């Protein structure tokens, strides 16, 4: 099937960061033309006059299934938050994980995200939910010490079985997750890393999210979490280290030297008052790749990566007393090309170029919050003025999954109706 998006302003995010005026043509799953006027015939033509087309956004850290848990652990201290979430997690069913994941996928699609990296157990259910929504899921099964988990069986073995079942599924990238050094000993970390290396799967983990985590680990091992993971060979170019608010310059260098991506989740960190801020200028200086994640709906209450992009920029500027930190182009890079690099898919995603997957978002260029709109201010408008209501149409790997604001893949009324029942069952308990 050939789809032609006509007469758009195209923010390509290619190596030259070109902004073009013209057509985007999709044949099957791939982009075949970006920019030149298309003289051929198409099965569907979409008029994008005065609209903007950008690459699909890439959320490099979330827990999609938690979308049904909004508002249940707000305004608590971090230990109280963890205690309540762990109790709820222990009682979750396949049905509520499926509905929660579908709700999370719907929210992401409606805000322009076409790929997400998830860290949770029951990733087989999350993956099926992603497929039903038409979004791409990089689904990383949560591994932790067997004596600290609510999973049935050994988490690393569960992860391996999940990978084998889903490695050839469309729009699913099965991966490996580590909960964090506070529940993952040396054996768990090295076994998970060895499997990631063996099959070439992505590996993600929480790292240095809180000062308490860092201090406790140093007291226990004599090393900070980043140093400890480097010592045992866990860091590497397929890794995505999440949060990283409490890093030393030494750890920054270790992450950069290993090729590990840092995924910042600023809204989550601010809401939980963890205090640390990702040292973006230092990471940038070392050449480390930095991407963005929303985290889950318990710590953010939103899976809107557009809002996360602006928040990251403002937090960096405010905390450094420097308005030149994290300029608009770099913010847009974080949710597109940097995100693609983080998940090892930079050859297929992150920019609008012929041969890449047709992951794109049509933005309403006539929205007042985006006007005036000229070539000179378009990137700044995307970074600082864009909001999720501006998202009109979303395509993921050639499939139109949001069509003029309407999700084409899920029964939205039924889905949102079921979420209230699940919230009360899961969350209204002592």
Classify 2-56+353-407 by CATH class.
mainly beta
Residue 429: band (very low, low, confident or very high) from pLDDT cuts 50, 70, 90: low
Residue 233: band (very low, low, confident or very high) from pLDDT cuts 50, 70, 90: very high
| Alpha-carbon Rg for the chain in angstroms | 21
Residue 1 pLDDT > 90: yes
Residue 168: band (very low, low, confident or very high) from pLDDT cuts 50, 70, 90: very high
pLDDT on residue 76: 82
pLDDT tens string 83-102: 888 778 777 889 999 999 99
Q: How far is CA 26 from CA 7, 35, 79, 108, in A?
A: 14, 12, 49, 22
The domain covering 57-342 belongs, at the CATH homologous superfamily level, to Metal-dependent hydrolases (3.20.20.140)
pLDDT tens string 355-410: 999 999 999 999 999 999 999 999 999 999 999 999 999 999 999 999 999 999 99
**Mean per-residue pLDDT, 110-130:** 97
pLDDT on residue 85: 81
Mean of pLDDT over the chain: 96
242: left (phi over 0), alpha (psi -120 to 50) or beta: beta
Cβ partners under 8 Å of residue 17, min gap 6:
329, 379
Same fold, 2-56+353-407 and 57-342: no
HSE toward the beta carbon, residue 4, CA cutoff 13 A: 14
Tell me if 260 sits within 8 A of 235, measured CB to CB. yes
Tell me if 294 sits within 8 A of 243, measured CB to CB. no
Residue 291: strand pairing partners: 263
pLDDT on residue 257: 98
Cβ partners under 8 Å of residue 172, min gap 6:
127, 130, 131, 136, 137, 139, 166
Residue 428: band (very low, low, confident or very high) from pLDDT cuts 50, 70, 90: low
H/E segment holding residue 271: helix 266-271
pLDDT tens string 15-39: 999 999 999 999 999 999 999 999 9
Of the candidate ranges 78-82, 217-221, 425-429, the one whose mean pLDDT is the lowest: 425-429
**Beta strand pairing status for 239-243 and 2-11?**
unpaired
Please classify residue 28 by burial: count the beta carbons closer than 10 Å to its beta carbon, then call 0-12 exposed, 13-18 middle and 19+ buried.
exposed
pLDDT tens string 169-191: 999 999 999 999 999 999 999 99
- Name which of 247, 333, 388 is nearest 60 in CA terms: 333
CA dihedral 338, 342, 344, 346 (to 10 degrees): 0
| Angle made by CA atoms 12, 16, 21, in degrees to the nearest 5 | 40
For the chain, percent of residues with pLDDT exceeding 70: 99
The structural domains of the chain, with segments of one domain joined by +, span 2-56+353-407, 57-342
pLDDT on residue 78: 79
pLDDT tens string 196-231: 999 999 999 999 999 999 999 999 999 999 999 999
Query: How far is the C-alpha of 341 from the C-alpha of 261, rounded, in Å?
Result: 8
What count of other Cβ atoms lies within 10 Å of the Cβ of residue 407? 18
Say what the pTM is: 0.97
Residue 427: band (very low, low, confident or very high) from pLDDT cuts 50, 70, 90: confident
Residue 56: strand pairing partners: none
- Name which of 349, 255, 356, 342 is nearest 292 in CA terms: 342
**Mean per-residue pLDDT, 238-243:** 98
At residue 220, the 3 state secondary structure works out as helix
């Amino acid at each position: 099937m050939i789809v032609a998006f006509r007469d758009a302003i195209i923010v390509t995010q290619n190596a030259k960061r070109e902004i073009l005026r013209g057509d985007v043509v999709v044949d099957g799953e791939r982009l075949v033309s970006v920019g030149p006027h298309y003289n051929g015939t198409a099965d569907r033509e979409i008029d994008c006059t005065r609209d903007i087309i950008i690459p699909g956004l890439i959320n490099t850290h979330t827990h999609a299934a938690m979308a049904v848990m909004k508002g249940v652990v707000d305004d608590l201290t971090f230990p109280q938050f963890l205690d309540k979430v762990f109790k709820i997690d222990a009682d979750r069913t396949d049905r509520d994980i499926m509905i929660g994941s579908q709700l999370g996928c719907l929210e992401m699609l409606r805000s322009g995200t076409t790929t997400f990296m998830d860290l949770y157990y029951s990733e087989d259910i999350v993956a099926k939910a992603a497929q039903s929504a038409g979004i791409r899921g990089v689904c990383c099964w949560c591994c932790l010490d067997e004596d600290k988990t609510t999973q049935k069986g050994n988490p690393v073995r569960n992860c391996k079985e999940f990978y084998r079942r889903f490695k050839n599924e469309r729009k699913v990238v099965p991966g490996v997750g580590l909960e964090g050094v506070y529940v993952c000993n040396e054996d768990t970390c090295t076994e998970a890393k060895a499997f990631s290396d063996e099959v070439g799967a992505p590996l993600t983990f929480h790292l240095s999210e809180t000062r308490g985590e860092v201090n406790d680990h140093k007291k226990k091992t004599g090393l900070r979490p980043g140093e400890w993971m480097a010592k045992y060979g866990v860091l590497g170019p397929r890794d995505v280290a999440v949060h990283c608010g409490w890093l030393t310059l030494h750890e920054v260098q270790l992450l950069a030297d290993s090729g590990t991506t840092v995924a910042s989740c600023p809204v989550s960190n601010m809401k939980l008052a963890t205090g640390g801020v990702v040292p973006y200028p230092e990471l940038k200086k070392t050449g480390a790749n930095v991407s963005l994640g929303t985290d889950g709906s318990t710590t953010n209450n939103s899976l809107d990566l557009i809002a996360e992009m602006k928040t990251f920029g403002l937090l960096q500027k405010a905390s450094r007393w420097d308005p030149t930190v994290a300029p608009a182009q770099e913010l847009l890079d974080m949710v597109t090309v940097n995100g693609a690099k983080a998940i090892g898919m930079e050859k297929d995603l992150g920019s609008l170029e012929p041969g890449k997957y047709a992951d794109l978002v049509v933005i309403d260029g006539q929205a007042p919050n985006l006007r005036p709109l000229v070539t000179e201010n378009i990137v700044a408008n995307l970074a600082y003025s864009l909001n999720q209501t501006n998202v009109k149409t979303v395509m993921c790997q050639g499939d139109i999954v949001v069509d003029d604001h309407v999700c084409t893949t899920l029964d939205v009324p039924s889905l949102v109706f079921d979420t209230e029942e699940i919230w009360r069952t899961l969350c209204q308990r002592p």
